[in-house]
Amino acid sequence: MDIDTSSAASRSFQVMTKPMGPKCNLDCKYCYYLEKERFYPEEKKFHMPEEVLETYIRDYIAAQHAAGAQEIWFSWQGGEPTMLGVEYFRKIVELEQQYCPPGTVIRNALQTNATLVDEEWAAFFKQHDFLIGVSIDGPKKIHDRYRYYRNGSGSFDKVMEGIRILQAHGVEINALVVVQRENARKPKEVYRFLKKVGFRHIQFIPIVERVTEDGTLAGPPQSDSEIEAQVSRWSVLPKDFGSFLNAVFDEWVRHDVGEVFIQFFEIQIGLWLGRPVGLCVFAEECGQALAMEHNGDLFSCDHYVYPEYRLGNIMEEKIEALVAKPEQQRFGEEKRTTLPKQCQECKFRFACNGGCPKHRLLSTSDGEPGLNYFCASYLSFFHHAGPWIRVMTDLNRRGRMASEIMEIVRQRSSRKQRRAGLP
């Protein structure tokens, strides 16, 4: 789950922490993280030891506090972090409170498939004000297409049970929706379902992975550019993702502005206003959102958990020293310095900045490598939604509510209907 960092610019970096490593009770077809087990062949128990946990919490708080952060976010992911049990997270909160400086607020975000959520978990999350991101891909038939248990049975019913328990306890929840080959073709069905369930904050996460001839997932294009690999059959097609965004935007801009908050749209409105981007995908440079494995290994990024992107281990070096390594600085700068000329000259560069480097799988019309797989998706959205985004940014600059766009859209639609002679 991505945390918008735009309101905490003083924080120098954030870490997506994997206390359970890649272990999960589900076997989702498209999950890119389950295969990380192969990087730890001797590991029998993926479980962050208490000494690693305490070192991390202590040093991370110290680094953020030194950077001037008054609100410090911890992001717990997996794998499935709830497999560790509630008592493990009680220890986490205890350590956070132990090392929290006066006047500083500690916040926690946790990403879960919600299948293990029960009354005890929900009460704990509510008590300690956790922000919970729930992975859900749409209605039952759509969700169960790729999100299932190891025996092949779908997870939807247990996910919905977990969501209802969280809602009953008043826990703040976000929907984390992987946009894949199937649900990308049913945008309104997916979006309306999420609203009906009660989600008011939604992240749409497009999936693209390359598969080698032996069936394993290929690494990032910067490392595996020469291998023979094809885009997986579950990867969303660029044209479908563009159409998905456009269809959801059309529904949202007419009915839900100010009521439903879709991260992609909110980030774009901010970018079109000229505000600092709070999401690395669309930032000019990256390298400030890292990932940490169960044993304290720190990696350049959640999408770059590969041996060649391992910066070191927090039990051997301070976390801020690892983040400051020259190789990590280069990693972040290369998002900008390797941007193809076609992207540099694009009028929408401000809104995209080449997207995530992990997705730069294509070549430009001139044959230059480094074009983002989702370039066509983004361009489709910018052309389609851009005029309305400009209206919303204008409203904002005049001190008016962005939600006023809904009435403007209705008025313009009515005028078009009258000109067309429609009732």
pLDDT of residue 10: 37
Question: Taking a C-beta distance cutoff of 8 angstroms, is the pair 33, 88 a contact?
Answer: no
Rounded-to-integer distance, Cα 109 and Cα 363, Å:
37
Per-residue pLDDT for 229 more than 80?
Answer: no
pLDDT tens readout for residues 346-398: 999 999 999 999 999 999 999 999 999 999 999 999 999 999 999 999 999 99
Q: 71-89 pLDDT, tens per residue? A: 999 999 999 999 999 999 9
pLDDT score at 416: 64
Decide if pLDDT at 13 tops 70: yes
Residue 302 annotated in active site: yes
Is the pLDDT reported for residue 7 higher than 80?
no
d(CA 219, CA 205): 19
Closest CA to 336 of 283, 414, 300: 283
Closest CA to 408 of 247, 378, 271, 400: 400
Please name which of 68, 77, 74, 62 lies closest in space to residue 8, comparing C-alpha atoms: 68
Q: Looking at residues 403-410, what average pLDDT do you find?
A: 93
pLDDT in tens, 191-215: 999 999 999 999 999 999 998 888 7
> How far is the C-alpha of 185 from the C-alpha of 208, rounded, in Å?
15
CA contacts within 13 A on the Cβ side of 92? 27
CA 147 – CA 134 distance, rounded (Å):
13
CA 192, 194, 200, 206 torsion: positive or negative? negative
Phi, psi of 119 (to 5 degrees): -60, -40
| Dihedral of the alpha carbons of 338, 342, 346, 349, in degrees to the nearest 10 | -20
Q: What is the pLDDT of residue 11?
A: 44
| The one-letter amino acid at 9 | A
Predicted confidence band at 42 (pLDDT cuts at 50, 70, 90)? confident
Residues counted in the chain:
423
pLDDT of residue 422: 42
Structure-model confidence comparison of residues 406 and 8, the more confident one? 406
d(CA 214, CA 35) in angstroms, rounded, equals 14
In the chain, the percentage of residues whose pLDDT exceeds 70 is 94
Q: What is the mean pLDDT of the chain?
A: 93
List Cβ<8 Å contacts ≥24 apart for 37-42: 39/305, 39/306, 39/307, 40/293, 40/295
Q: Which domains does the chain have, with CATH numbers?
A: 14-338 (3.20.20.70), 341-420 (no CATH)
Per-residue pLDDT band for 6 (boundaries 50, 70, 90) equals very low
Q: Catalytic pick from 2, 240, 256, 302?
A: 302
Token reading at 274: 């000229």
DSSP-derived 3-state class of residue 18: coil
